[in-house]
């Protein structure tokens, strides 16, 4: 029986140190680590880890959201591991998927992680809609003037702040419009 670890962070700027430390504390003999979005299900190191595992092995993951962000992907991975006779253990949540109570908690936490991701997506969409609505409120002439000044900023020497002050079009809107 081998004890294998998998760790993931979403961006290059984030550190894998804590996850690696915890996986080593739990006796992981081999650890697969990557910096990749959890929304992607075809993560290279996750695929390698899953391929590496054999019947009787245990896969340790520091937190449930490091394994996957959707309930569908979590269930798919867990079911595949179970069918292959491989135990899944989530360290932070203290869940051993090989037990009935572990399966229940796994499903509930997976649903919560997916819900949280959907809320973030909704808030982002709402923010974009607010900006889009504000653009409609401003005088179209001001927006056109702001965009023209923005396009010519190298020759006119104006910063985005300067253009925002001159036209009344907020600076944050330039990121949306440009």
Supply angle C-alpha 33, 37, 43, rounded to 5.
55
- How many DSSP H helices and E strands does the chain contain? 9, 5
Other beta carbons within 10 angstroms of residue 67's beta carbon come to 25
Which of the residues 10, 41, 70, 98 is marked catalytic? 10
Strand partners, 96: 89
Cα dihedral 52, 92, 122, 174, rounded to 10, equals: -80
101 is catalytic: no
Q: Which residue has the tokens 């700027």?
A: 13
Query: Cα(145)–Cα(161) distance, rounded to whole angstroms?
Result: 14
| Both structure tokens of 153 | 């900023």
Sign of CA dihedral 26, 42, 85, 90: positive
Q: Which residues are catalytic?
A: 10
């Amino acid at each position: 029986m081998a004890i294998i670890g998998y760790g993931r962070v979403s961006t290059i700027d984030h550190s894998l140190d804590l996850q690696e430390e915890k996986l080593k504390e739990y006796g992981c003999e081999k650890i697969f680590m990557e910096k990749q979005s959890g929304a992607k299900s075809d993560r290279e190191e996750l695929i390698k880890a899953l391929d590496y595992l054999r019947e009787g092995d245990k896969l340790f993951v520091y937190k449930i959201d490091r394994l996957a962000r959707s309930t569908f992907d979590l269930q798919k991975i867990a079911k595949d591991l179970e069918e292959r006779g491989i135990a899944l253990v989530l360290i932070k949540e203290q869940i051993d998927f090989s037990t009935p109570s572990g399966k229940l908690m796994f499903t509930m936490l997976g649903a919560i992680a997916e819900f949280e991701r959907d809320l973030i997506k909704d808030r982002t969409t709402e923010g974009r809609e607010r900006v889009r609505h504000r653009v409609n409120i401003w005088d179209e002439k001001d927006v056109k003037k702001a965009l023209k000044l923005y396009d010519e900023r190298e020759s006119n020497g104006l910063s985005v702040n300067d253009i925002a002050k001159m036209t009344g079009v907020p600076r944050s809107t330039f990121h949306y419009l440009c």
